[in-house]
């Protein structure tokens, strides 16, 4: 750009005249600076102020919120406020019970979007085989299964004195009726697809979580019991049966108060192996803010940063749906029919669920969620 031309000065040619407006602009005095603003002192303000008879501030709505179910406003740390209507409900008054205060928005049942009805998994053999990745060639494996069962029976016939010293784990007895077995597996597939889970009958180690090398049973604080050889053979037998589609005699049913829960579809003897607790293995510190209600302790180390948990929110098996007891009441403790035990198996920690008494057909399965840390809030369990 060219430079702006300067206005002509008084020394220019006599023929050049200066406009009055321009001359006034040149000679006009600048405006006076604004006078400094004066502020009153706080004492002067208080002296001049007049008293006002105003009502005290109204308490916010949530400070007086009560539970719509029990009518109590106590235990506000467990009182959920609906993001739609601002009404409250205790976590333990919900059905199914909420294990902890959820993260993010929450809506009470009247405001929550209508949930879709549970879509039942089709009872077709091909779909069930694909979902559970059942291995083919079950006919060829019948002889192997019979041989394994005979070995188990031989072990049972050994000295009664040896048997009384240590109670051994027994293999489950699958249902012989193939149609009923399809029904059992379809019920589990229904629960898993409704929970957006994939079936996995073993611990999974995913990238970004704890690696398999972190699962060292020797790191357990206070030591971990090693699974005896006979019991290990029993667990291997049960795993082999499950790969062939011979599942434990269990049904997954939906309860309006407890959600999905597991019940026996046949009589189950004491000390019978039910399932291994499976899912993604992760460090406990990574799940500090996880609001999942099914996280299971896998490894308790002296170093808190090395503690491991099992998270069945994406992958798992039927153990994900076995409910916990209210271990604060006598009636709750009486419902316990499963025990949860951690074993050292080939140097790695595993969680096994085993019957701790005889279970009748139709009876629901329960175990104590607080077998180790006593930190899970079960005092409001049904």
pLDDT tens figures, 72-95: 888 888 888 888 888 888 887 887
Interaxial angle between packed helices 138-156 and 229-243, expressed in degrees from 0 to 180 and rounded to the nearest 10: 160
User: For 26, phi and psi rounded to 5 degrees?
Assistant: -75, -35
CA dihedral sign, ordered 136, 138, 143, 144:
positive
CA–CA dist 135, 138 (Å, integer)? 7
Residue 289 CA from chain centroid, whole number: 10
Quote the pLDDT of residue 151.
55
Taking residues 365-375, what's their average pLDDT?
A: 68
State the pLDDT confidence band at 98, using cuts at 50, 70 and 90: confident
pLDDT for 106-135, tens place per residue? Answer: 888 888 877 666 677 887 889 999 999 998
Number of C-beta neighbours around residue 252 at 10 A: 22
pLDDT higher than threshold 90 for residue 68: no
Structural Rg of the chain based on CA atoms: 36
Residues 318, 325 contacting (CB under 8 angstroms): no
CA dihedral sign, ordered 89, 91, 93, 95:
positive
Name the more confident of 47 and 279.
Answer: 279
Q: For domain 64-115, say whether CATH 3.40.50.970 is its number.
A: no
pLDDT for 200-257, tens place per residue? Answer: 999 999 999 999 999 999 999 999 999 999 999 999 999 999 999 999 999 999 887 7
Quote the pLDDT of residue 120.
79
CA–CA dist 117, 211 (Å, integer)? 38
Residues of the chain with CATH 3.30.40.10: 64-115
Name the more confident of 175 and 287.
Answer: 175
CA angle at 367 for the pair 361 and 369, rounded to the nearest 5°: 160
Percent of all residues in the chain with a pLDDT value above 70, rounded to a whole number:
68
Name the more confident of 8 and 205.
Answer: 205
CA–CA dist 86, 264 (Å, integer)? 41
Count Cα atoms within 13 angstroms, Cβ side, for 63. Answer: 4
Quote the pLDDT of residue 325.
76
User: For 124, phi and psi rounded to 5 degrees?
Assistant: -110, 135
pLDDT for 297-354, tens place per residue? Answer: 999 999 999 999 999 999 999 999 998 876 666 766 788 999 999 999 999 999 999 9
CA distances from 236 to 103, 171, 185, 268, 350 (A): 40, 9, 20, 19, 13
Taking residues 48-59, what's their average pLDDT?
A: 58
Residues of the chain with CATH 2.170.270.10: 125-134+169-367
Name the more confident of 151 and 264.
Answer: 264
Taking residues 130-144, what's their average pLDDT?
A: 67
Least confident of 133-142, 298-307, 368-377: 368-377
pTM: 0.68
Taking residues 38-54, what's their average pLDDT?
A: 67
Least confident of 141-150, 220-229, 268-277: 141-150
Residues 110, 85 contacting (CB under 8 angstroms): yes
Percent of all residues in the chain with a pLDDT value above 90, rounded to a whole number:
45
Looking only at the bridges linking them, the beta strands covering 198-199 and 315-316 are parallel
pLDDT for 154-181, tens place per residue? Answer: 555 554 444 445 789 999 999 999 999 9
Q: Identify the helix (H) or strand (E) that includes residue 273.
A: strand 273-276
Quote the pLDDT of residue 162.
47
Quote the pLDDT of residue 370.
61
- Is residue 366 classed as helix, strand or coil in its secondary structure? strand
Quote the pLDDT of residue 235.
96
Quote the pLDDT of residue 7.
47
CA angle at 117 for the pair 200 and 195, rounded to the nearest 5°: 20
Residues 277, 368 contacting (CB under 8 angstroms): no
Quote the pLDDT of residue 6.
44
Name the more confident of 282 and 70.
Answer: 282
Average pLDDT, the chain: 79
pLDDT higher than threshold 90 for residue 54: no
pLDDT higher than threshold 60 for residue 26: no
Closest C-alpha to 365, from 271, 235, 286, 251:
251
pLDDT higher than threshold 60 for residue 12: no
Residues 265, 251 contacting (CB under 8 angstroms): yes
Structure letter (DSSP) for residue 92: G
Quote the pLDDT of residue 375.
52
In the numeric block, the tokens 């060292």 are attached to: 216
Name the more confident of 361 and 292.
Answer: 361
Quote the pLDDT of residue 1.
44
pLDDT higher than threshold 70 for residue 49: no
The CATH fold of domain 125-134+169-367: Beta-clip-like (2.170.270)
3-state helix, strand, coil in the chain (%, to 5): 30, 20, 55
For residue 280, list its beta bridge partners: 204, 311
């Amino acid at each position: 750009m060219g430079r702006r031309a300067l206005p002509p000065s008084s020394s220019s040619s006599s023929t050049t005249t200066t406009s009055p407006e321009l001359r006034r602009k040149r000679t006009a005095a600048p405006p006076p600076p604004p006078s400094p603003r004066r502020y009153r002192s706080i004492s002067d303000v208080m002296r001049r102020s007049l008293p006002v008879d105003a009502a005290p501030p109204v308490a916010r709505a949530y400070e007086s919120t009560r539970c719509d179910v029990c009518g109590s406003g106590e235990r506000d740390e467990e009182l959920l406020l609906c993001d739609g209507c601002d009404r409250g409900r205790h976590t333990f008054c919900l059905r199914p019970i909420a294990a902890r205060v959820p993260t993010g928005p929450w809506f009470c049942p009247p405001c929550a979007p209508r949930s879709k009805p549970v879509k039942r998994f089709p009872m077709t053999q091909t779909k069930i085989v694909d979902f559970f990745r059942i291995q083919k060639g079950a006919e060829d494996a019948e002889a192997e299964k019979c041989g394994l069962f005979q070995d188990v029976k031989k072990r049972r016939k050994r000295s009664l004195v040896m048997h009384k010293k240590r109670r051994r784990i027994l293999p489950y007895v699958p249902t012989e009726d193939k149609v009923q077995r399809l029904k059992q597996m379809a019920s589990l597939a229904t629960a898993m697809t409704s929970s957006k889970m994939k079936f996995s009958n073993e611990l999974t180690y995913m990238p970004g979580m704890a690696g398999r090398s972190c699962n060292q049973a020797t790191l357990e604080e206070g030591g971990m019991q090693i699974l005896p050889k006979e019991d290990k053979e029993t667990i291997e037998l049960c795993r082999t049966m499950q790969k062939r589609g011979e599942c434990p005699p269990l049904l997954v049913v939906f309860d309006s108060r407890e959600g999905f829960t597991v019940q026996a579809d046949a009589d189950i003897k004491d000390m019978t192996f039910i399932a291994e607790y499976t899912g993604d293995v992760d460090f406990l510190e990574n799940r500090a803010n996880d609001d999942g209600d099914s996280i299971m302790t896998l490894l308790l180390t002296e170093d808190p940063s090395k503690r491991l948990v099992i998270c069945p929110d994406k992958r798992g098996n039927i153990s994900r749906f076995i409910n916990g007891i209210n271990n604060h009441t006598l009636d709750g403790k009486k419902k316990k029919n499963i025990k949860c035990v951690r074993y050292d198996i080939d140097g790695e920690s595993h969680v096994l669920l085993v019957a701790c008494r005889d279970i009748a057909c139709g009876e629901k399965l329960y175990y104590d969620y607080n077998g180790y840390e006593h930190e899970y809030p079960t005092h409001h369990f049904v």
